[in-house]
Amino acid sequence: MSKFFSEKYSSLTPYTPGEQPKDAQYIKLNTNESPFPPTEKAVSCAAEAAERLNLYPDPECFLLTSRLADILGVDREEVLLTNGSDEILNFAFMAYCDDAHPAAFADITYGFYKVFAELNRVPYEIIPLSDDLTIRSDDYIGINKTIFIANPNAPTGIALTLSEIERIVESNPDNIVVIDEAYVDFGGESAVPLIKKYDNLLVTQTFSKSRSMAGARLGFGVGCKELIRDLNTVKYSTNPYNINMMTMAAGIGILEDEETVRERCKTICENRTYTADALTTLGFECIPSSTNFIFARHPHLDGETVYLKLKEAGILVRHFTTERIKDYNRITIGTREQMEALVTAMIGILGELLYK
Ligand code: PMP
C-alpha cells in the first residue's frame, strides 16, 4: 500500500474472484460461467458494433433497455442496465444504505455484499443462515434495514419461495429490499412481477449465467420508476457510459435468442440432476440446487483436500475457507462431458483417499 492511499479504503478487504488460471487447461467449474458460448447473433452484433468504437455508446442504452423491458413485462423506465449485476448491487448500497438505513444480509451468501457495505462505509447486520443452510425468512420480517438477499442463494443453491420474498418485502415498507436473482433462470421464481405492487423492491439479474455473457459484463435492476431514477442519479454521477458499445450490441443480439437460452438452461438442469445423482451415489451430500451449481460435501473427506485433488486432476471447483462451509465445494454445472469427467475424477479421488 502506498502512503497516499486514503484511510477511507486502506483497511478494505476486497472481494476475491474465483481463479482464472493461466497455467494449464482446466475444466473450469469454479465461477458459475455458462459452458456454452454466446449465440452467433450475439457475437455478430458485437462484431458489427466494434466498427463504431470511435463513438461513445448510448448512455441511455435505449434499444437494449426497451427490448429487455418487453421481455420482462415491465416499462422501460423500470429497468436499468449496468456493468454486470455487481454494479447495480453497488449502486443499491450507495443509494439506499447509510447510518439510518443499515444493510442486512446472510452470513453465507454472495461475498460482495460485505465488501460493498465496507466500501461505502455503511453499517451492516449479518443474519446467520439456519443449521440446514437455508435463509429463515422470519429473520427478515420488519427489521427496518436495507435487505440484500440472493435468491436462489449462493453458494448454497437454495431458493426461497416467491411468497416468502413477498412477505419480507411487504413487512419492510420503509426500507429497500434487494433480491439478487443472478441464478433465477435455473429454477427460482422471479420477483420481477412484484415491482408493480411494491415501491421498495429492487430485483437484480445478470446476463453472465443463463445468457452466456460473463465476459461482456452486463447486468440490470428492475424496480419502480422512482427507484430507477435514484439509481440513474448514482450512475450518471459515476460512469454514464457504463455499458460499452459491443456489450450493448451483444445484449440486443442474445435477447433475440431467448428460446436457445431457455433450452440451454434446461440442459444445465438435466446435467445438474445427473451430477447430483452420481455424487450422491458416491457418498456425497448435495444440497438440492435451484442454480447452475451444486454445493456438496463428503462426510469422510475434507473439503479443501477434495478441491486440491480435483485441481491436480485438471478440474477447478470453488472452495471457501469460511468455517461453516469449509467442508463443501461449489461445483458449477457444465456440459455433460465435463460432468462425466468430474465424476470419473471423484471416483479416482475416493479410491485413493478412502478405499486404498
Ligand atoms: N450475485 C450473485 C449471487 C453472484 O454469484 C454473482 C456472480 N458471481 C453476481 C451477483 C454478479 O454477477 P455479474 O456481475 O457477473 O452479473
Mind listing the pLDDT tens digit for each residue in 83-99?
999 999 999 999 999 99
pLDDT at 284: 98
Residue 149 domain boundaries:
40-256
The reply to whether 252 and 263 lie within a common domain is no
- The span from the CA of 281 to the CA of 97, in Å, is 46
Statement to judge: residues 295 and 252 lie in one domain: no
pLDDT confidence of residue 354: 87
Pair 231, 315 in one domain: no
Q: Does the beta carbon of 206 sit less than 6 angstroms from any atom of ligand 1?
A: yes
68 and 159 together in one domain:
yes
Total domains, the chain:
2
Which residue's C-alpha cell is 452486463? 218
Supply the angle between the helices 62-72 and 245-254 in degrees, to the nearest 10.
30
Q: What is the pLDDT of residue 144?
A: 94
Same domain (yes/no): 251, 110: yes
34 lines ligand 1 (CB under 6 A): no
Q: What is the pLDDT of residue 32?
A: 97
Cα(309) to centroid of ligand 1, in Å? 27
214 in contact with ligand 1, CB cutoff 6 A: yes
**Residue 110 Cβ contacting ligand 1 at under 6 Å:** yes
pLDDT of residue 21: 84
Residues in the chain, pLDDT under 70: 24, 356
3-state SS, residue 74: coil
Contact status, residue 274 vs residue 289, Cβ threshold 8 Å: no
Looking at the chain, the whole-number percentage of residues with pLDDT higher than 70 is 99
**What is the model's pLDDT at position 23?**
76
> Which residue's CA lies nearest to atom 1 of ligand 1?
182
Are 122 and 21 members of one domain? no
Judge whether 34 and 322 are in contact, CB under 8 Å. Answer: no
Q: Record the cell numbers describing residue 131, joined without a space.
A: 443449521
Residue for grid cell 415491482: 195
